[in-house]
Amino acid sequence: MNTREIHILRKKFIFIFMVSVILSVGIIGLALNSATRIINVTSIHRTLDGLIKYQDDIESVISGTEDPFSNNAGLIKAFSEFMTRSRHFCLVSKSPDGTFSAAVYYGYTGDSIGSGDENTSVSSRYIEYAEKAIESGNKYGRYGMNYYEYSGSGDGSAVVAFIDCTSEINSGSRLLTITLIIGLVALLISYLIVRRLSLRIIRPVIENNRRQKEFITNASHELKTPLAVIRANTELTEIMNGPSEWTASTLNQVDRMNGLIQNLVMITKSAEQEDKSELSEIDAGKAVNESVTPYESLAAQKGITLERNIEENVTITADASKIRQLTTLLVDNAIKYCDENGRIIVGLKATGKRKKGICLTVSNSYAAGKDVDYNLFFDRFYREDSSHNIDKGGYGIGLSIADSICSRYGGEIKASWEDGMITFTCLLY
């Protein structure tokens, strides 16, 4: 895993963590506000039930004959908690003949209430609300800042009790606002904390990755000297005593070791970050053609037909050497594993938004590829030939490097098989 992949993994972790925090804070906030609302509405409905139950006592206030709160402990218990916060409540009565009358009561002092039925405009508004409530047929409801309860009888008479709940509704709105503010602050703090801590956590991994690259580079450099000495001594032995199967085997293994070293260096370089400022718009078709041309003679020697299907004027902002390296890796792989007297097709076309990306495809004949798990092809050091036969060469890292190049340009590489042809499709943006 290179430094870029480590940072991508860190960003994914931060994203998942923040989504979890958002869900947790959201659920807690929703539960808190829902519970508060349920408690308030339950209290309001209980008070409305009391208004309906004690409507006869309350209406006696209209005539001024009795203060229903002075001698009725049940009524006091029903309203004492709520009326200390409510501005007013109202009773609207409907007689059997369809006549409406309203009585509005303001405030609660503990020993008396004041009648507001002289306020014609307020009474008219509540009568209008009552008509709508009776028409809807709902027992409980709300109009504006007022909750109501409707109770009717078989003779056509009805009563609708209203309570002004401005305080409760405003309190609920303030609680929601406070919850949102606290939630946003909590999210911001959580993001800053996880961002800082995740950076500290991955720092040793990045440092270990850097040291690993440094070790591979140094080891590769140091191994070249003894290999060069072994080659020189072996060649000198061949000059003095003539070639033999032992010297040929030694030289072959030296070549394999040199190839392995070069591939390890290639892996290390493929993981290095590119300087985006040095990238420029290149002719991708030219880079692909230049990479394919050297393989034409090799393909012809093996009886393989090499075809090109490359569009003209296909451009991309990238490093031309990476496009050539990607093409070389795929064409070299195709020649190694192409069926005898088969064919290879190299294709290139523009893709993506405003045709700023490219789609590179390399297909080759591969009759034995029907039941192969192509997802494993891009694992480093994986080869489909489990016996690791060295006749075809390679170390199982070419496709892994190709995958790394595609990922660097925000794209992907995938393999598919159809009608005896295996196709590697590379998308770069």
Q: Which pLDDT tens digit goes with each residue over 273-283?
A: 555 556 788 99
Mean pLDDT of all residues in 412-418: 90
Mean pLDDT of all residues in 179-184: 94
- Least confident range from 8-22, 135-149, 395-409: namely 395-409
- Predicted local distance difference test score (pLDDT) of residue 61: 47
Closest CA to 340 of 306, 302, 385, 295: 302
Closest CA to 314 of 354, 345, 376, 358: 358
- The domain limits of the chain are 6-171, 276-428
- Least confident range from 70-74, 118-122, 193-197, 342-346: namely 70-74
Question: Of 10-24, 56-70, 142-156, which one has max mean pLDDT?
Answer: 10-24
Q: Name the pLDDT band for 390 (thresholds 50, 70, 90).
A: very low
Radius of gyration of the chain (CA): 42
Structure tokens at 169: 């509704």
pLDDT at 375 > cutoff 80 = no
DSSP code of 145?
T
Task: For the domain made up of 276-428, give the CATH fold.
Answer: Heat Shock Protein 90 (3.30.565)
Q: Tell me how far apart the alpha carbons of residues 91 and 403 are, in angstroms, rounded to a whole number.
A: 77
Structure tokens at 373: 């798990």
- Predicted local distance difference test score (pLDDT) of residue 27: 95
Closest CA to 94 of 54, 146, 44, 153: 153
> Of 157 and 261, which is predicted with more confidence?
157
**Phi, psi for residue 387 in degrees, rounded to 5:** -80, -10
- Predicted local distance difference test score (pLDDT) of residue 382: 54
Mean pLDDT of all residues in 400-413: 86
Q: Tell me how far apart the alpha carbons of residues 180 and 185 are, in angstroms, rounded to a whole number.
A: 9
Q: Name the pLDDT band for 87 (thresholds 50, 70, 90).
A: low
Q: What is the pLDDT of residues 141-152, one digit of tens each?
A: 999 889 999 998
On average, the pLDDT of the chain sits at 81
Structure tokens at 115: 């009648």
Question: Of 44-48, 153-157, 289-293, which one has max mean pLDDT?
Answer: 289-293
First to last CA, the chain: 22
Q: Tell me how far apart the alpha carbons of residues 70 and 62 are, in angstroms, rounded to a whole number.
A: 15
Q: Name the pLDDT band for 116 (thresholds 50, 70, 90).
A: very low
Q: Name the pLDDT band for 391 (thresholds 50, 70, 90).
A: very low
User: Which bin fits 341, alpha (ψ -120 to 50), beta or left (φ > 0)?
Assistant: left
- Strands 88-94 and 146-152, by their bridges, are unpaired
Q: Name the pLDDT band for 212 (thresholds 50, 70, 90).
A: confident
- Predicted local distance difference test score (pLDDT) of residue 364: 95
Mean pLDDT of all residues in 296-322: 91
Percent over 90 (pLDDT), the chain: 34
Q: Tell me how far apart the alpha carbons of residues 341 and 366 are, in angstroms, rounded to a whole number.
A: 11
| Contact of 87 with 164, CB cutoff 8 Å | yes
Closest CA to 311 of 371, 357, 243: 357
**Phi, psi for residue 283 in degrees, rounded to 5:** -85, 100
According to DSSP, the residues that pair with 364 across neighbouring strands are 344, 422
- Least confident range from 127-141, 173-187, 269-283: namely 269-283
- Predicted local distance difference test score (pLDDT) of residue 387: 39
Q: Name the pLDDT band for 178 (thresholds 50, 70, 90).
A: very high
pLDDT at 182 > cutoff 80 = yes
131: CB partners within 8 A, 6+ apart = 100
Mean pLDDT of all residues in 291-307: 92
- Predicted local distance difference test score (pLDDT) of residue 221: 77
- Grouping H, G, I as helix, E, B as strand and the rest as coil, residue 372 is coil
- Strands 412-418 and 88-94, by their bridges, are unpaired
| Contact of 26 with 210, CB cutoff 8 Å | no
Q: Tell me how far apart the alpha carbons of residues 352 and 363 are, in angstroms, rounded to a whole number.
A: 21
> Of 113 and 291, which is predicted with more confidence?
291
Measured CA to CA in angstroms, residue 148 lies from 27, 51, 106, 117, 384 at distances of: 30, 10, 16, 18, 76
User: How distant is the alpha carbon of residue 191 from its chain centre?
Assistant: 15
Q: Name the pLDDT band for 79 (thresholds 50, 70, 90).
A: low
352: CB partners within 8 A, 6+ apart = 427, 429
pLDDT at 50 > cutoff 90 = no
- Predicted local distance difference test score (pLDDT) of residue 176: 93
According to DSSP, the residues that pair with 282 across neighbouring strands are 316
Q: Tell me how far apart the alpha carbons of residues 18 and 101 are, in angstroms, rounded to a whole number.
A: 57
Closest CA to 86 of 151, 176, 146: 146
- Predicted local distance difference test score (pLDDT) of residue 210: 78
Q: Name the pLDDT band for 80 (thresholds 50, 70, 90).
A: low
| Contact of 394 with 383, CB cutoff 8 Å | yes
Structure tokens at 184: 């946003």
pLDDT at 59 > cutoff 60 = no
Q: Tell me how far apart the alpha carbons of residues 135 and 114 are, in angstroms, rounded to a whole number.
A: 30
Q: Name the pLDDT band for 83 (thresholds 50, 70, 90).
A: low
